[in-house]
């Protein structure tokens, strides 16, 4: 009986560890020393955004995620000054601490228990080491202007299986908050989510990237595509869900129907709405 109990206990502890760290479902290896080597994306994945910490108290976004100067900018640039404290966005384990002269400068990559990896670039000083366990809010570096940078700022990326997601999908720097308790990643919809997030929370009038812009080096075509994207975005109307709202109350408020809302947002009539969720209503 003691043997049986011991086996059952080990099984229980193993299951609990797996449940507590969804990252174990996504990544087969730890010793991947590349900041962004892409692996197979899941069709869908629920990312827990609770127990977060904003990487910086700065609310100023100086450059958005998306097409920029004929190439893809894979993160957000947030205004910080040299020496400002940069903190871990979630709990996890430091995977990379390096210096890249023509790129990120002094940067840190953290793999988090919720499945995300975050990258913090252009720092002036590292405050952590590789393989170090960190908690959300722990200092990991100091703001700087190292690497390929034209002024002091934090380059902040959020990646899933090495694929860049627009941080504005999950982080609202203007309000120093996350966009909800969870973000449901869907492989066929995350590009659209990124465009919408930039429109709602971005700066400088940039609208994120058009799927057709990926790997494009033709700045003229990229500009035309971004113009088409912005024209489309301007014709669409959005509603940010408040606590206690339902599809019926939202439809009534905007003079539409529940069926129309469901069709526009690809959801069912019994879909559970969460505060902060964004819905199209036109």
CA distance 212 to 99: 32
Contact (CB, 8 A) for 145 and 101: no
Q: Write the DSSP symbol of residue 51.
A: S
HSE-up of 62 (CA within 13 Å, CB side)?
Answer: 14
Contact (CB, 8 A) for 37 and 180: no
Locate 87 and state its tokens: 């903190």
Pairing of strands 61-63, 76-78: antiparallel
pLDDT of residue 8: 66
Contact (CB, 8 A) for 236 and 242: no
Pairing of strands 125-126, 61-63: unpaired
pLDDT of residue 236: 64
pLDDT of residue 64: 93
Contact (CB, 8 A) for 124 and 83: yes
What pLDDT tens digit does each residue of the chain (282 aa) get?
A: 666 667 666 665 555 544 457 788 888 888 888 888 888 899 999 999 999 999 999 999 998 998 877 788 999 999 999 999 999 999 999 999 999 999 999 999 999 999 999 999 999 999 999 999 999 999 999 999 999 998 899 999 999 999 999 999 999 999 999 999 999 999 999 999 999 999 988 764 333 333 333 333 333 343 344 434 444 444 567 788 888 899 989 888 888 889 888 888 888 888 889 887 888 887
CA distance 67 to 214: 8
Q: Which of 136, 134, 123, 129 is nearest to 97 (CA)?
A: 129
Domains and CATH numbers, the chain: 46-233 (2.70.70.10), 237-280 (3.10.350.10)
pTM for this model (two decimals) = 0.67
User: DSSP of 169-235, one letter per residue?
Assistant: GTEETTTTEESSSEEEEETTTHHHHHHHHHHHH--TT-----GGGTT---HHHHHHHHHHHHHHHHH
């Amino acid at each position: 009986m003691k043997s049986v109990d011991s086996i059952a206990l080990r099984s229980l502890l193993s299951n609990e560890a797996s449940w507590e760290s969804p990252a174990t479902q996504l990544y087969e290896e730890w010793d991947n020393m590349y900041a962004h080597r892409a692996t197979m994306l899941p069709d869908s994945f629920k990312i827990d955004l609770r127990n977060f910490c904003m990487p910086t108290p700065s609310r100023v976004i100086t450059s958005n995620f998306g097409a920029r100067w004929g190439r893809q900018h894979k993160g957000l640039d947030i205004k910080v000054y040299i020496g400002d404290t940069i903190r871990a966005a979630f709990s996890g384990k430091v995977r990379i601490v390096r210096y890249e002269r023509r790129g990120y400068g002094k940067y840190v990559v953290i793999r988090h228990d919720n499945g995300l990896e975050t990258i913090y670039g252009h720092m002036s000083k590292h405050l952590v080491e590789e393989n170090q366990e960190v908690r959300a809010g722990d200092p990991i570096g100091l703001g700087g202007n190292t690497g390929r940078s034209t002024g002091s700022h934090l380059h902040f990326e959020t990646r899933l299986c090495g694929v860049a997601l627009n941080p504005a999908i999950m982080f609202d720097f203007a309000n120093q908050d996350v966009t909800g308790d969870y973000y449901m990643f869907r492989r066929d919809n995350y590009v659209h989510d990124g465009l919408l997030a930039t429109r709602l929370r971005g700066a400088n009038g940039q609208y994120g990237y058009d799927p057709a812009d990926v790997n494009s080096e033709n700045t003229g075509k990229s500009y035309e595509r971004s113009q088409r994207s912005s024209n489309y975005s301007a014709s669409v109307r959005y509603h940010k869900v408040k606590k206690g709202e339902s599809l019926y109350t939202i439809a009534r408020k905007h003079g539409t129907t529940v069926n129309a809302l469901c069709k526009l947002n690809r959801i069912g009539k019994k879909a559970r709405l969460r505060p902060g969720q964004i819905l199209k209503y036109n």
